[in-house]
């Protein structure tokens, strides 16, 4: 009987170990693929990320704001609800048959690609290194294909408020993960942002990336704020604010480049 219990314990421990390895492991760099698609003449802007990108929340806002400033554009987007930065990176390489594939974004060869990711990393207490590593991979992939990354800083969402709505198992899992990955700090957004910025400097990427300061569009989450639908999602008003900020950032960048100003409407 004792041997049986030991055997069951070993099996359960092994399953738990595999779970941890799969959950927290960093993605290896995936080999690039060749492109045989033709680039369109119209200014094309891609958007990739998690649920903040789904249902084309930002597409029309960006299109209309750019048009008002004299820039005709085509906006293409691909988001996966619940995706962590690791999945956002993997999706760039997935076959078209996968519903979450964002490979078509790369193949469309947009001038810019907006990246909104990391909220699920922070909520899941994946660790700042996990977030910075996969954002690095995303950025380097876009740059390889001569696409300028436009990265929205990690939104200052309600991490602690979101945790309160989780079941007991997830709450304790995330508390333990915070101890391991973030010095027991549950409200981790600032430490994730810091690690990301350190990565940009270390990898010599800062001058190659256009950064959008999320805090200029939306305040930190508050239950009284009309900018949030819930602790980790924006309301329609919040999406409008963010969309306008991204568009303003792009307009400033476009006006610097004669390639775009000479074709201005």
Please write the tens of the pLDDT for every residue from 161-184: 999 999 998 998 899 999 888 888
* pLDDT for 21 beyond 80: no
Task: To the nearest 10°, report the CA torsion of 184, 165, 213, 200.
Answer: 40
pLDDT of residue 13: 46
Mean pLDDT of all residues in 216-240: 97
Q: What is the pLDDT of residues 232-247, one digit of tens each?
A: 999 999 999 999 999 9
* CATH T-level topology, domain 58-261: Rossmann fold (3.40.50)
Does position 102 have pLDDT exceeding 80, yes or no? yes
- What's the mean pLDDT when you consider all of the chain? 92
Q: Are 101 and 88 in contact (CB under 8 A)?
A: no
């Amino acid at each position: 009987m004792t041997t049986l219990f030991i055997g069951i314990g070993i099996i359960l421990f092994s399953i738990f170990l595999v779970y941890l390895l799969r959950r927290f492991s960093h993605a290896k760099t995936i080999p690039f693929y060749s492109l045989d698609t033709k680039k369109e003449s119209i200014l094309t802007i891609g958007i990739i990320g998690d649920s903040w990108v789904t249902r084309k929340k930002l597409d029309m806002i960006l299109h209309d704001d750019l048009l008002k400033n004299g820039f005709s554009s085509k906006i293409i987007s691909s988001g996966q609800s619940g995706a962590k930065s690791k999945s956002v990176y993997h999706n760039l390489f997935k076959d078209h048959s996968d519903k979450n594939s964002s490979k078509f974004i790369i193949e469309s060869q947009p001038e810019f690609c907006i990246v909104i990711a990391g909220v699920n990393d922070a909520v899941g207490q994946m660790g700042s290194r996990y977030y910075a590593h996969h954002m690095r991979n995303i950025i380097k992939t876009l740059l390889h294909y001569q696409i300028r990354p436009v990265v929205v800083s990690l939104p200052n969402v309600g991490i602690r408020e979101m945790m309160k709505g989780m079941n007991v198992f997830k709450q304790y899992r995330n508390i333990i993960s915070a101890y391991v990955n973030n010095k027991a700090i549950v409200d981790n957004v600032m430490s994730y942002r810091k690690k990301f910025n350190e990565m940009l400097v270390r990898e010599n990427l800062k001058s190659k990336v256009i950064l959008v300061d999320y805090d200029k569009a939306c305040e930190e989450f508050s239950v009284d704020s009309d900018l949030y639908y819930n602790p980790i999602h924006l309301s329609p008003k919040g999406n409008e604010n963010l969309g306008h900020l991204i568009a303003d950032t792009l307009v400033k960048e476009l006006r610097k480049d004669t390639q775009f100003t000479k074709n201005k409407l």
